[in-house]
Chains A and B, each alone.
Chain A
Amino acid sequence: MLQALLRGEEKMDSLEIFAVESAIASEQEFYRKIIEDNLASLKLAPAIGRIKVVLRPEDSLFQMAIVLRDVGSRVTTIDIADVDAKPVAGEIIILIKKEQYIPELLGKLWDRYGKANISQPDRWTVSISTDRPEEEAAFLKEMMVADPRHRLHENLVDFAIRVTPEGFRVRYHLYKDNRFIFVASEEALKHEWIEEAGTMLEELMEGGKN
């Protein structure tokens, strides 16, 4: 998103362009519904700004170009929890505010302090016993817990495979910055098909509100 801001683009709305193209209008509608359903089940809709899908069943070809929205930067501990140092007791208390990142947070804490030094008195609290509570607390506050972009990548690939017709097993995908291209076919991929998808992406980048 930073690059987009540098280029002077405004913030994109979610799904501000959602285009599905196919030779037969009714089939286009069926496919649009399939894409909507899969976006919903993977909770991807908020992350996608512009999407265009072109279907050519007669060529066994599926092309998709996506421009992603800003999905948020890296998540640090302080974004999802309050960290308190208790020098007298020799421990750090972490009060969780956003539960969704607990698995990642705990994983990192276990690696650093060992499972024996970490207890969870309840769902919202993690306590760590350590000799240097204040220094460690300062470190923990800035520790990176999760990178939503990584999760997004996994979901995007999953989404692409789910919406593609099943027999189209020859696939090409490109994920760079906030751009995603996916081409799939049953036959060996032709170079121009990937180029076409690239052109679709260019159009998407230019289209929309500037």
Chain B
Amino acid sequence: MAVLRPYLYTGGVHKHGLLIELLEDLGGYIIQKVITGTEVNLIMLVPEKDVPIVKKQSDELLGIIIEAPLTGVEIAVVSPTLASHHLPHSACDVAEYLRHPGANTNMIGLARGMGRRVSLSMDYERKLINEHDIAVFTFGSFSDCIINKKPKLFEGIEIPIVVTGGPDLKTEDVPGADLYVGNIGRTSHRLRKTEEVSALDNLNEKVGKIADNIRKQQAKDPLAVLPARAMKEIENQVPEIRTVLSPAPLTLQLNGLRVKLPYDEFHERLEKLEFDEGVTLSELANISRSKMKNYILIKIKSKSDVGFAI
């Protein structure tokens, strides 16, 4: 199986179709295409050995192509509540910054996450967070709260947990966290000072490493089908997806994808989705109702589960 590398292309709308066609010929995938005015952003997966060809095409179109290590990663940015104490700064700043390297982020405000003794998360919220690849919890400025009180919000979270907060702590200090990034505490202003932006850069870099680790783990027992390939098949066989107005109607995850179509109406068609090899999607993946709205969540099984991979 070809190794795919994530890239982000930014350039003019003029002739960008050439790049898309080239990518199709090479066997790569377009994950997301965003057109803003006369500019286009393409998030794509490029076969590793063909990267120079794509770069050459991008240079001809006078576009910029950069690596986007968080492509195909869906991140939950969890804020204690949706009150003005936490939003829009700093939780939205964190979510926005994580999107730069290609991630899809969802903001989740807990219903009762605020406070020290009283903070708690609900079963529904935990399940919703667990649908993502990585959870980023945005906490406040007090080390006492972050170390002693807030970690109870991590109970029941099975995905890697990243914590942001004000004080400069070590990851080991925060029980249950897989990564702690300091200098992003509670603020009432936009994060744009040098030290704040470099803290966000630091966050992106380290979250990128976590995503890489998950990918490495996956490589030991690969998925039965690439999420990107399943995505392309859905685009081809379920044309209704084109009418969905949500951003990223098909959201790629490291081990599956979220389809933003109503479950009751479409789950059977997705289960029967057929690949060229003659297998259907339901043989390769678990298709379930997502906790997010009424969407469809597809989690692809590993090769060892299915017995083969396509």
Contacts and interface: CB of A to CB of B under 8 A. Distances in A.
Interface of A: 24, 26-27, 30-31, 33-34, 37-38, 41, 55, 57-58, 60, 162, 165-169, 186-187
Interface stretch (B98-106, B137-145, B271-279, B295-303): B137-145
A58 B148 CA distance: 10
Contacts of A57: 116, 142, 144-145
A168 B115 CA distance: 6
B115 A27 contact: no
Given A166-B85, A166-B114, 18 more contacts: A27-B167, A30-B141, A30-B166, A30-B167, A33-B187, A34-B188, A37-B187, A57-B116, A57-B144, A60-B116, A162-B84, A165-B114, A166-B83, A167-B80, A167-B115, A167-B118, A168-B115, A187-B117
B152 to A, nearest CB: 13
Interface of B: 80-81, 83-86, 114-119, 140-145, 166-168, 185-189
23 contacts: A26-B166, A26-B168, A27-B167, A30-B167, A30-B185, A30-B186, A34-B186, A34-B188, A57-B144, A58-B144, A162-B84, A166-B80, A166-B81, A166-B114, A166-B115, A167-B80, A167-B114, A167-B119, A168-B115, A169-B115, A186-B116, A186-B118, A187-B117
A55 B186 CA distance: 15
Task: Identify whether the interface residues of A are mostly helix, strand, loop, or mixed.
Answer: helix
Given A24-B167, A57-B144, A34 B115 contact: no
Contacts of B83: 166
Nearest to A28: B141
Contact of B141 (A31, A167, A169, A186): A31
Contacts of B84: 162
Contact of B85 (A27, A41, A58, A162): A162
A162 B141 contact: no
Contacts of A165: 85, 114-115, 140, 142
